[in-house]
Amino acid sequence: MSMKIVAEHPGGADVLRAIDVEAGTPAKDEVLVRHTAIGVNFIDIYFRSGLYPWPVDKNLVLGSEAAGIIEAVGDGVSDFSIGDRVAYTIPNGAYAADRIVETRHLVALPDAVTDETAAASMLKGLTAHYLLHRSFRVEAGQTVLFHAAAGGVGLIAGQWLADKGVTAIGTAGGPEKCALARQNGYAHVIDYKNEDFVAQVQEITGGKGVDAVYDSVGKDTIAGSLKCLKTFGTLVNFGQSSGPALDFKLSDLAAGSFSVTRPVLFHFTADSAYLQTASKALFGMIEKGALKINVNQRFPLADAARAHRALETRKTTGSTILVP
Protein backbone atom coordinates (compact mmCIF):
# COMPACT_ATOMS: atom_id res chain seq x y z
CA MET A 1 0.00 0.00 0.00
CA SER A 2 1.07 3.60 -0.61
CA MET A 3 0.23 6.66 1.50
CA LYS A 4 -1.01 9.68 -0.43
CA ILE A 5 -2.22 13.12 0.67
CA VAL A 6 -5.39 14.19 -1.12
CA ALA A 7 -7.59 17.25 -1.13
CA GLU A 8 -11.05 15.72 -0.73
CA HIS A 9 -12.63 18.72 -2.47
CA PRO A 10 -11.49 22.31 -3.18
CA GLY A 11 -11.05 24.37 0.00
CA GLY A 12 -8.71 25.46 2.78
CA ALA A 13 -5.77 23.46 4.17
CA ASP A 14 -8.16 21.39 6.31
CA VAL A 15 -9.42 19.51 3.21
CA LEU A 16 -6.09 17.64 3.09
CA ARG A 17 -6.08 14.10 4.44
CA ALA A 18 -4.00 10.91 4.17
CA ILE A 19 -5.32 7.83 2.36
CA ASP A 20 -3.77 4.42 1.59
CA VAL A 21 -4.00 3.05 -1.94
CA GLU A 22 -2.42 0.21 -3.92
CA ALA A 23 1.03 1.26 -5.18
CA GLY A 24 0.32 -0.27 -8.62
CA THR A 25 2.63 -1.76 -11.24
CA PRO A 26 4.38 0.33 -13.92
CA ALA A 27 3.08 -0.19 -17.49
CA LYS A 28 5.04 0.32 -20.72
CA ASP A 29 7.49 3.27 -20.51
CA GLU A 30 6.65 3.83 -16.83
CA VAL A 31 8.58 3.36 -13.58
CA LEU A 32 7.61 3.17 -9.91
CA VAL A 33 9.45 5.89 -7.95
CA ARG A 34 9.77 5.69 -4.15
CA HIS A 35 9.83 9.32 -3.09
CA THR A 36 12.58 10.53 -0.76
CA ALA A 37 11.64 14.24 -0.86
CA ILE A 38 8.66 16.16 -2.25
CA GLY A 39 8.56 19.87 -3.06
CA VAL A 40 5.77 22.17 -1.87
CA ASN A 41 4.79 24.95 -4.28
CA PHE A 42 2.29 27.75 -4.52
CA ILE A 43 0.66 25.90 -7.43
CA ASP A 44 -0.38 23.24 -4.87
CA ILE A 45 -2.38 25.95 -3.09
CA TYR A 46 -4.00 27.13 -6.34
CA PHE A 47 -5.15 23.54 -7.03
CA ARG A 48 -6.20 22.87 -3.43
CA SER A 49 -8.25 26.08 -3.24
CA GLY A 50 -9.92 25.41 -6.62
CA LEU A 51 -8.40 28.48 -8.33
CA TYR A 52 -6.99 26.06 -10.94
CA PRO A 53 -9.46 23.55 -12.46
CA TRP A 54 -9.27 19.96 -11.16
CA PRO A 55 -8.54 17.00 -13.44
CA VAL A 56 -10.67 14.74 -11.14
CA ASP A 57 -14.00 15.25 -9.33
CA LYS A 58 -12.64 14.54 -5.82
CA ASN A 59 -9.60 13.32 -3.88
CA LEU A 60 -6.97 15.19 -5.90
CA VAL A 61 -3.43 14.12 -4.98
CA LEU A 62 -1.54 17.44 -4.86
CA GLY A 63 2.17 18.03 -5.42
CA SER A 64 4.05 18.81 -8.64
CA GLU A 65 7.72 18.00 -7.95
CA ALA A 66 9.61 15.21 -6.21
CA ALA A 67 12.76 13.14 -6.15
CA GLY A 68 13.28 9.48 -5.32
CA ILE A 69 14.58 6.06 -6.27
CA ILE A 70 13.27 3.78 -9.01
CA GLU A 71 11.85 0.60 -7.46
CA ALA A 72 10.32 -1.09 -10.52
CA VAL A 73 10.38 -0.56 -14.29
CA GLY A 74 7.76 -1.34 -16.94
CA ASP A 75 8.24 -2.83 -20.43
CA GLY A 76 10.31 -0.86 -22.89
CA VAL A 77 12.22 1.18 -20.28
CA SER A 78 15.86 1.33 -21.35
CA ASP A 79 17.11 4.75 -20.14
CA PHE A 80 16.46 4.05 -16.43
CA SER A 81 17.06 1.09 -14.08
CA ILE A 82 15.99 -0.02 -10.64
CA GLY A 83 18.00 1.92 -8.03
CA ASP A 84 18.49 5.08 -10.15
CA ARG A 85 18.04 8.43 -8.40
CA VAL A 86 15.60 10.61 -10.35
CA ALA A 87 13.44 13.73 -10.10
CA TYR A 88 10.51 15.18 -12.02
CA THR A 89 8.05 18.06 -12.17
CA ILE A 90 4.52 17.40 -13.51
CA PRO A 91 1.17 18.78 -12.34
CA ASN A 92 -0.22 16.97 -9.25
CA GLY A 93 0.26 13.46 -7.86
CA ALA A 94 3.51 13.99 -5.93
CA TYR A 95 2.23 14.12 -2.31
CA ALA A 96 2.69 10.35 -1.99
CA ALA A 97 5.14 7.84 -0.56
CA ASP A 98 5.58 6.51 -4.09
CA ARG A 99 3.99 6.84 -7.52
CA ILE A 100 4.16 5.67 -11.11
CA VAL A 101 5.73 8.13 -13.58
CA GLU A 102 6.25 8.02 -17.35
CA THR A 103 10.00 8.07 -18.09
CA ARG A 104 9.64 11.05 -20.47
CA HIS A 105 9.15 13.24 -17.36
CA LEU A 106 12.23 11.97 -15.49
CA VAL A 107 15.69 13.43 -15.16
CA ALA A 108 18.62 11.46 -13.72
CA LEU A 109 20.28 13.07 -10.71
CA PRO A 110 24.04 13.70 -10.74
CA ASP A 111 26.01 12.77 -7.59
CA ALA A 112 26.46 16.45 -6.66
CA VAL A 113 22.69 17.02 -6.41
CA THR A 114 21.01 15.47 -3.37
CA ASP A 115 17.45 14.16 -3.52
CA GLU A 116 16.32 16.99 -1.25
CA THR A 117 17.98 19.66 -3.43
CA ALA A 118 16.36 18.16 -6.53
CA ALA A 119 12.91 18.03 -4.94
CA ALA A 120 13.36 21.64 -3.83
CA SER A 121 14.45 22.90 -7.24
CA MET A 122 12.94 20.95 -10.15
CA LEU A 123 9.79 23.05 -10.41
CA LYS A 124 11.22 26.29 -9.01
CA GLY A 125 14.62 26.05 -10.72
CA LEU A 126 13.22 25.17 -14.14
CA THR A 127 10.78 28.03 -13.71
CA ALA A 128 13.69 30.40 -13.05
CA HIS A 129 15.41 28.91 -16.12
CA TYR A 130 12.58 29.53 -18.57
CA LEU A 131 11.78 32.96 -17.06
CA LEU A 132 15.34 34.20 -17.65
CA HIS A 133 16.04 32.35 -20.92
CA ARG A 134 12.69 32.18 -22.70
CA SER A 135 10.01 34.54 -21.32
CA PHE A 136 12.36 37.49 -21.26
CA ARG A 137 15.91 36.55 -22.25
CA VAL A 138 18.11 38.56 -19.89
CA GLU A 139 21.48 39.97 -20.89
CA ALA A 140 24.43 41.18 -18.80
CA GLY A 141 24.09 44.85 -17.98
CA GLN A 142 20.30 44.87 -17.86
CA THR A 143 18.23 45.66 -14.76
CA VAL A 144 15.12 43.68 -13.81
CA LEU A 145 12.61 43.70 -10.97
CA PHE A 146 11.67 40.36 -9.37
CA HIS A 147 8.80 40.25 -6.87
CA ALA A 148 8.68 37.83 -3.89
CA ALA A 149 12.48 37.66 -4.06
CA ALA A 150 12.82 35.66 -0.81
CA GLY A 151 10.42 32.92 -1.97
CA GLY A 152 11.20 29.56 -3.55
CA VAL A 153 11.49 30.77 -7.14
CA GLY A 154 12.76 34.18 -5.99
CA LEU A 155 15.92 32.99 -4.22
CA ILE A 156 16.90 30.82 -7.19
CA ALA A 157 16.23 33.60 -9.72
CA GLY A 158 18.29 36.14 -7.75
CA GLN A 159 21.39 33.94 -7.80
CA TRP A 160 20.94 33.08 -11.47
CA LEU A 161 20.49 36.75 -12.44
CA ALA A 162 23.65 37.72 -10.53
CA ASP A 163 25.59 34.93 -12.27
CA LYS A 164 24.51 36.42 -15.62
CA GLY A 165 25.65 39.93 -14.71
CA VAL A 166 22.10 41.30 -14.50
CA THR A 167 21.28 43.89 -11.83
CA ALA A 168 18.37 42.35 -9.94
CA ILE A 169 16.03 44.47 -7.84
CA GLY A 170 13.94 42.29 -5.52
CA THR A 171 10.87 42.92 -3.41
CA ALA A 172 10.14 41.04 -0.19
CA GLY A 173 7.85 41.38 2.81
CA GLY A 174 9.76 42.45 5.94
CA PRO A 175 13.39 43.05 6.93
CA GLU A 176 14.40 39.40 7.42
CA LYS A 177 13.17 38.38 3.98
CA CYS A 178 14.90 41.43 2.48
CA ALA A 179 18.21 40.45 4.11
CA LEU A 180 17.90 36.90 2.78
CA ALA A 181 17.19 38.15 -0.76
CA ARG A 182 20.27 40.39 -0.56
CA GLN A 183 22.38 37.32 0.31
CA ASN A 184 20.98 35.54 -2.75
CA GLY A 185 22.00 37.76 -5.63
CA TYR A 186 19.72 40.80 -5.41
CA ALA A 187 21.69 44.06 -5.68
CA HIS A 188 18.76 46.04 -4.25
CA VAL A 189 15.82 44.79 -2.17
CA ILE A 190 12.66 46.75 -1.42
CA ASP A 191 10.41 45.90 1.52
CA TYR A 192 7.16 46.27 -0.42
CA LYS A 193 5.06 45.80 2.71
CA ASN A 194 6.46 49.05 4.10
CA GLU A 195 7.84 50.97 1.11
CA ASP A 196 6.44 52.20 -2.23
CA PHE A 197 8.24 49.85 -4.63
CA VAL A 198 7.45 51.97 -7.71
CA ALA A 199 9.09 55.07 -6.22
CA GLN A 200 12.06 52.98 -5.04
CA VAL A 201 12.61 51.41 -8.47
CA GLN A 202 12.50 54.83 -10.13
CA GLU A 203 15.09 56.08 -7.64
CA ILE A 204 17.40 53.07 -8.08
CA THR A 205 17.24 53.31 -11.91
CA GLY A 206 17.57 57.11 -12.02
CA GLY A 207 14.04 57.40 -13.41
CA LYS A 208 14.73 55.07 -16.38
CA GLY A 209 12.80 52.02 -15.19
CA VAL A 210 13.73 48.35 -15.64
CA ASP A 211 14.02 46.15 -18.73
CA ALA A 212 11.62 43.54 -17.34
CA VAL A 213 9.46 42.82 -14.32
CA TYR A 214 8.88 39.24 -13.19
CA ASP A 215 5.59 39.38 -11.26
CA SER A 216 4.10 36.33 -9.53
CA VAL A 217 2.22 38.32 -6.87
CA GLY A 218 -0.56 39.48 -9.21
CA LYS A 219 -3.42 41.52 -7.79
CA ASP A 220 -1.39 43.65 -5.35
CA THR A 221 1.54 44.43 -7.68
CA ILE A 222 0.65 44.29 -11.41
CA ALA A 223 -0.39 47.95 -11.74
CA GLY A 224 2.79 49.10 -9.97
CA SER A 225 4.93 46.68 -11.99
CA LEU A 226 3.87 48.35 -15.25
CA LYS A 227 4.94 51.70 -13.79
CA CYS A 228 8.45 50.29 -13.17
CA LEU A 229 9.10 49.35 -16.83
CA LYS A 230 11.20 51.40 -19.22
CA THR A 231 9.75 52.06 -22.71
CA PHE A 232 9.49 48.75 -24.64
CA GLY A 233 9.96 46.84 -21.36
CA THR A 234 8.45 43.40 -20.72
CA LEU A 235 6.05 42.31 -18.00
CA VAL A 236 6.28 38.60 -17.21
CA ASN A 237 3.29 37.66 -15.05
CA PHE A 238 3.80 34.07 -13.90
CA GLY A 239 1.58 33.77 -10.83
CA GLN A 240 -0.95 35.37 -8.49
CA SER A 241 0.05 34.71 -4.86
CA SER A 242 -2.09 37.69 -3.75
CA GLY A 243 -4.94 36.80 -6.13
CA PRO A 244 -5.61 37.23 -9.86
CA ALA A 245 -5.11 40.73 -11.32
CA LEU A 246 -8.63 41.08 -12.69
CA ASP A 247 -8.50 44.76 -13.64
CA PHE A 248 -5.56 44.46 -16.08
CA LYS A 249 -6.36 45.78 -19.58
CA LEU A 250 -4.36 45.41 -22.81
CA SER A 251 -4.53 49.17 -23.22
CA ASP A 252 -2.40 49.46 -20.04
CA LEU A 253 0.54 48.40 -22.23
CA ALA A 254 0.22 51.56 -24.33
CA ALA A 255 1.90 53.63 -21.60
CA GLY A 256 5.30 52.44 -22.89
CA SER A 257 4.71 50.04 -25.82
CA PHE A 258 5.21 47.28 -23.28
CA SER A 259 5.13 43.54 -23.97
CA VAL A 260 3.41 41.09 -21.65
CA THR A 261 3.51 37.32 -21.34
CA ARG A 262 1.81 34.87 -18.98
CA PRO A 263 3.90 31.67 -19.16
CA VAL A 264 3.37 28.25 -17.54
CA LEU A 265 6.29 25.90 -16.76
CA PHE A 266 4.56 22.74 -17.97
CA HIS A 267 4.23 24.10 -21.51
CA PHE A 268 8.03 24.31 -21.62
CA THR A 269 8.77 20.96 -19.93
CA ALA A 270 6.32 19.11 -22.21
CA ASP A 271 9.24 19.27 -24.66
CA SER A 272 11.61 16.50 -23.47
CA ALA A 273 14.61 18.17 -25.12
CA TYR A 274 13.92 21.38 -23.16
CA LEU A 275 13.38 19.43 -19.93
CA GLN A 276 16.75 17.71 -20.23
CA THR A 277 18.66 20.83 -21.38
CA ALA A 278 17.19 23.09 -18.70
CA SER A 279 17.73 20.47 -15.95
CA LYS A 280 21.35 20.12 -17.05
CA ALA A 281 21.76 23.91 -16.83
CA LEU A 282 20.11 23.95 -13.37
CA PHE A 283 22.24 21.10 -12.02
CA GLY A 284 25.32 22.67 -13.62
CA MET A 285 24.69 25.89 -11.71
CA ILE A 286 24.39 23.88 -8.47
CA GLU A 287 27.50 21.80 -9.22
CA LYS A 288 29.68 24.85 -9.94
CA GLY A 289 28.53 26.47 -6.68
CA ALA A 290 26.80 29.43 -8.36
CA LEU A 291 23.39 28.34 -7.09
CA LYS A 292 22.54 27.26 -3.56
CA ILE A 293 19.08 25.80 -3.02
CA ASN A 294 17.72 27.09 0.29
CA VAL A 295 15.57 24.39 1.89
CA ASN A 296 14.27 26.45 4.80
CA GLN A 297 11.21 24.39 5.88
CA ARG A 298 10.78 20.63 6.23
CA PHE A 299 7.56 18.82 7.23
CA PRO A 300 6.59 15.14 7.39
CA LEU A 301 4.41 14.23 4.38
CA ALA A 302 1.48 13.62 6.75
CA ASP A 303 1.76 17.28 7.84
CA ALA A 304 1.19 18.74 4.37
CA ALA A 305 -1.63 20.93 5.71
CA ARG A 306 0.81 22.65 8.07
CA ALA A 307 3.18 23.29 5.15
CA HIS A 308 0.30 24.81 3.16
CA ARG A 309 -0.69 27.12 5.99
CA ALA A 310 2.90 28.34 6.34
CA LEU A 311 3.28 29.01 2.58
CA GLU A 312 -0.04 30.77 2.08
CA THR A 313 0.39 33.02 5.12
CA ARG A 314 3.81 34.22 3.88
CA LYS A 315 5.70 32.51 6.72
CA THR A 316 8.18 30.65 4.49
CA THR A 317 11.37 31.60 2.68
CA GLY A 318 13.11 29.61 -0.06
CA SER A 319 11.94 26.03 -0.65
CA THR A 320 9.68 23.82 1.47
CA ILE A 321 10.01 20.03 1.52
CA LEU A 322 7.71 17.17 2.57
CA VAL A 323 9.52 14.07 3.80
CA PRO A 324 7.68 10.75 3.28
Kindly provide the b/e burial profile for residues 141-175, where b requires at least 16 CB atoms within 10 angstroms of the residue's own CB.
Answer: ebbbbbbbbbbbbbbbbbbbbbebebbbbbbbbee
Q: Is the dihedral of CA 191, 195, 197, 203 positive or negative?
A: negative
Regarding 33 and contact with ligand NDP (CB under 6 A), the answer is: no
Regarding 41 and contact with ligand NDP (CB under 6 A), the answer is: yes
Please, what is the minimum distance in Å from the beta carbon of residue 245 to ligand NDP? 12
Binding mask 231-250 for ligand NDP (x = CB under 6 A): -------xx-xx--------
Within 80-139, which residues bind ligand NDP (CB under 6 A)? 123-124, 127
CB atoms within 10 A of CB 300: 11
Tell me if residue 169 falls in helix, strand or coil. Answer: strand
Among 113, 153, 169, 278, binds ligand NDP (CB under 6 A): 153
64: DSSP letter = -
Regarding 48 and contact with ligand NDP (CB under 6 A), the answer is: no
Cβ closer to ligand NDP: 69 or 242? 242
Q: What is the amino acid identity at position 155?
A: L
210 to each of 51, 127, 149, how far by Cα in Å?
Answer: 31, 21, 16
Cβ closer to ligand NDP: 102 or 312? 312
Beta-bridged to residue 115, according to DSSP, are none
Beta-bridged to residue 107, according to DSSP, are 87
Residue 218 burial by CB count (10 A; 0-12/13-18/19+): exposed, middle or buried? buried
Regarding 152 and contact with ligand NDP (CB under 6 A), the answer is: yes
Regarding 185 and contact with ligand NDP (CB under 6 A), the answer is: no
How many residues bind ligand NDP (CB under 6 A)? The answer is 29
Regarding 297 and contact with ligand NDP (CB under 6 A), the answer is: no
Among 87, 97, 138, 172, binds ligand NDP (CB under 6 A): 172
Residues in the site for ligand NDP, rule: CB under 6 A?
Answer: 41-43, 123-124, 127, 148, 150-154, 172-173, 177, 216-217, 220, 238-239, 241-242, 263-265, 311-312, 314, 316
